């Protein structure tokens, strides 16, 4: 494929935008290539500035579950725009979408709209601290919750240590309040809780990890977190920015039958427009300003364009058979790629939860960050670039999730599996 125009645009972008991109993973740096610049999208396909077409399994990093430019969403947003893009004042649309989210997500009794997933997790943690009067938080290696200071933290020298900053610009005094456990390890959580009794405000977790590839929770892991939090007075936060409305209409908490105290959601509830939300138990949410003393605000929160796109998208997702059909498509893609790898004699570890899936380039199982980080990233980079040349657009990192939309056709899936078979043979 010809990518000349993308190369030129990237060079121009680097002169005015740090690294040439506005979100680091878009840089294609981990696969040793320049990013593809996209011009438009439709259904299951995206089209770059050089005229190349790709079957898209990124879906704007998850929210395009109903495909790009769904006619109903486009029409609704156009009509909303006729009335104004933003007012900085309440609209009825906010209440409509709030009620739809509350009806869908088991843990949410009240909800606050924001403009991004980072804003949602940052605000949820502040509220948990305000509600409990405690300072420490507990997160998991390999789970990403946005770029707020307290969350850019690694575990340090041991499993039960205070965190240290994982990025320049994060004060150590902030990071020291973040404890880091291993995903899928209740023992690491219990050790941290025992060493920091009555000081942990919340445990925040991706119930289905999506930021080290797709890593499902092991049996008993989420149940164990729920029990620990209940016994210790800790707020349990499910970060469902990625899994919410993806793995089920009510998210991972519906799928696994575990109800957290709070939940964060992302752009899927805005049809891909800039939106996020956090919600939970009424007694917690009522501590939030202006009802309570925990401050949070945002001028564009609940803007009419995002609310309209969200209402329309959720109505599409509620249609009978939507998730059953999506599950069938996702199963075909995930299993087809795994079989192609096996036929080529190339070892991968395949995972899938609903319409989230991943092919890990490793012979072993992946269930936490240490096992994920053992993957052969150089082999993945070769595979990624080969698939791109075959017209299949994946996330440019081994440690990201792929997403299936309702618009992926049988032909898309067949072509994807055929491309995977060819590409695995190239790198075997």
What is the per-residue pLDDT for 164?
Answer: 60
Q: What is the DSSP string of 185-206?
A: -HHHHHHHHHHTTT-EEEEEE-
The mean of the pLDDT values for the chain is 94
More confident of the two residues 142 and 326 = 326
What is the per-residue pLDDT for 151?
Answer: 84
Same domain for 306 and 356, yes or no, is no
Does pLDDT of 271 surpass 70? yes
Catalytic residue among 34, 56, 239, 412: 239
Q: Give residue 340's pLDDT band: very low, low, confident or very high (50, 70, 90).
A: very high
Same domain for 371 and 356, yes or no, is yes
Strands (E), 190-258: 200-205, 235-239
Kindly state the tokens that stand for 72.
């109903």
What is the per-residue pLDDT for 124?
Answer: 98
- Compute the distance between CA of residue 50 and CA of residue 369 in angstroms, rounded to an integer: 37
| Burial of 291 per CB tally in 10 Å (0-12, 13-18, 19+) | exposed
What residues contact 3, with CB distance under 8 A and at least 6 apart? 34, 36, 48, 50, 52
Read off the pLDDT of each residue in 198-203 and give the average, rounded to a whole number: 98
Does pLDDT of 123 surpass 90? yes
Same domain for 116 and 239, yes or no, is yes
What is the per-residue pLDDT for 314?
Answer: 98
End-of-domain residue from the set 317, 342, 369: 317
Same domain for 128 and 106, yes or no, is yes
End-of-domain residue from the set 296, 317, 338: 317
What is the per-residue pLDDT for 393?
Answer: 98
Does pLDDT of 24 surpass 90? no
What is the per-residue pLDDT for 349?
Answer: 97
End-of-domain residue from the set 262, 293, 317: 317
| Burial of 51 per CB tally in 10 Å (0-12, 13-18, 19+) | exposed
Report in angstroms the alpha-carbon separations of 426 from 179, 333, 346, 357, 414: 43, 20, 10, 22, 19
Residue with tokens 């020291």: 176
Q: How many domains does the chain have?
A: 2
Q: List, edge to edge, every strand of the sheet that includes 392-393.
A: 38-42, 45-48, 53-56, 392-393
What is the per-residue pLDDT for 163?
Answer: 54
Task: Please choose, from the candidates 247, 245, 299, the residue with its C-alpha nearest in 3D space to the C-alpha of residue 274.
Answer: 299
Is 424 an active-site residue?
no
Same domain for 23 and 46, yes or no, is yes
- Compute the distance between CA of residue 5 and CA of residue 39 in angstroms, rounded to an integer: 11
Q: What percent of the chain has pLDDT over 70?
A: 97
Read off the pLDDT of each residue in 314-338 and give the average, rounded to a whole number: 98
Handedness of CA 189, 181, 280, 131 (dihedral sign): positive
Residue 333, domain extent: 4-69+321-427
Same domain for 175 and 313, yes or no, is yes
Is 239 an active-site residue?
yes
Name the least confident of 140-154, 293-307, 346-360, 376-390: 140-154
Same domain for 244 and 306, yes or no, is yes
Does pLDDT of 168 surpass 90? no
Q: What pTM value is reported for the model?
A: 0.96
Same domain for 300 and 158, yes or no, is yes
Same domain for 14 and 25, yes or no, is yes
Q: For 388-415, how does the pLDDT look when each residue is reduced to its tens digit (9 = 90+)?
A: 999 999 999 999 999 999 999 999 999 9
Same domain for 85 and 230, yes or no, is yes
In angstroms and rounded to an integer, the radius of gyration of the C-alpha atoms of the chain is 21
Q: For 77-112, how does the pLDDT look when each residue is reduced to its tens digit (9 = 90+)?
A: 999 999 999 999 999 999 999 999 999 999 999 999
CB 147 within 8 A of CB 176: no
What is the per-residue pLDDT for 148?
Answer: 86
Does pLDDT of 245 surpass 80? yes
What is the per-residue pLDDT for 155?
Answer: 44
Read off the pLDDT of each residue in 284-305 and give the average, rounded to a whole number: 96
Q: For 150-165, how does the pLDDT look when each residue is reduced to its tens digit (9 = 90+)?
A: 888 764 333 333 456 7
Q: For 34-49, how does the pLDDT look when each residue is reduced to its tens digit (9 = 90+)?
A: 999 999 999 999 999 9
Is 346 an active-site residue?
no
Q: Give residue 149's pLDDT band: very low, low, confident or very high (50, 70, 90).
A: confident
Same domain for 13 and 151, yes or no, is no
Same domain for 170 and 302, yes or no, is yes
Cis peptide before 290 (omega within 30 of 0): yes
Which CATH number covers residue 93? 3.40.640.10
Which CATH number covers residue 387? 3.90.1150.10
Does pLDDT of 170 surpass 90? no
What is the per-residue pLDDT for 158?
Answer: 35
Read off the pLDDT of each residue in 208-223 and give the average, rounded to a whole number: 97
- Compute the distance between CA of residue 131 and CA of residue 146 in angstroms, rounded to an integer: 21
Does pLDDT of 324 surpass 60? yes
CB 185 within 8 A of CB 370: no
């Amino acid at each position: 494929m010809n990518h000349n125009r993308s190369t030129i645009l990237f060079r121009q972008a680097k002169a005015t935008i740090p690294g040439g991109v506005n979100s680091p993973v878009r840089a294609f740096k981990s696969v040793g290539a320049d990013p593809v610049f996209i011009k438009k999208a439709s259904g299951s396909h995206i089209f770059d500035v050089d005229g190349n077409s790709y079957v898209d399994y990124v879906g704007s990093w998850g929210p395009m579950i109903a495909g790009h430019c769904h006619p109903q969403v486009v029409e609704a947003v156009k009509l909303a725009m006729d009335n104004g893009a933003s007012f900085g004042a309440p609209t009825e649309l906010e209440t409509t979408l709030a009620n739809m989210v509350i009806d869908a997500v088991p843990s949410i009794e009240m909800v606050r709209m924001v403009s991004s997933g980072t804003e949602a997790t940052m605000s949820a943690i502040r509220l948990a601290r305000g509600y409990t009067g405690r300072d420490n938080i507990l997160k998991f290696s390999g789970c990403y919750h946005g770029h707020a200071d307290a969350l850019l933290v690694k575990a340090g020298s041991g499993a039960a240590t205070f965190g240290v900053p994982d990025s320049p610009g994060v004060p150590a005094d902030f990071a020291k309040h973040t404890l880091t456990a291993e995903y899928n390890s209740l023992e690491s959580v219990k050790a941290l809780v025992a060493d920091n009794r009555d000081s942990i405000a919340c445990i925040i977790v991706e119930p289905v990890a999506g930021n080290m590839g797709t890593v499902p929770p092991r049996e008993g892991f989420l149940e164990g977190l729920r029990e620990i939090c209940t016994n210790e007075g800790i707020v349990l936060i499910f970060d469902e920015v990625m899994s919410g409305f993806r793995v089920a209409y009510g998210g991972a908490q519906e799928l696994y039958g575990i109800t957290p105290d709070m939940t964060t959601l992302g752009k899927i509830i805005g049809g891909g427009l800039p939106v996020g939300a956090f919600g939970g138990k009424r007694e917690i949410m009522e501590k939030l300003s202006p009802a309570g003393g925990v401050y949070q605000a945002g001028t564009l929160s609940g803007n009419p364009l995002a609310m309209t796109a969200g209402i329309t998208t959720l109505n599409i997702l509620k249609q009978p058979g939507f998730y059953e059909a999506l599950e069938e498509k996702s199963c075909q893609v995930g299993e087809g790629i795994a079989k192609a790898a096996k036929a080529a004699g190339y070892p991968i570890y395949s995972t899938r939860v609903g319409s989230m899936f991943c092919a890990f380039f490793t012979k072993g199982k992946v269930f936490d960050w240490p096992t994920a980080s053992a993957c052969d990233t150089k082999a993945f980079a070769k595979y990624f670039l080969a698939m791109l040349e075959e017209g299949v657009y994946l996330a440019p990192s081994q440690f990201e999730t792929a997403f299936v939309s309702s618009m992926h056709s049988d032909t898309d899936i067949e072509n994807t599996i055929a491309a995977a078979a060819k590409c695995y043979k190239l790198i075997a």
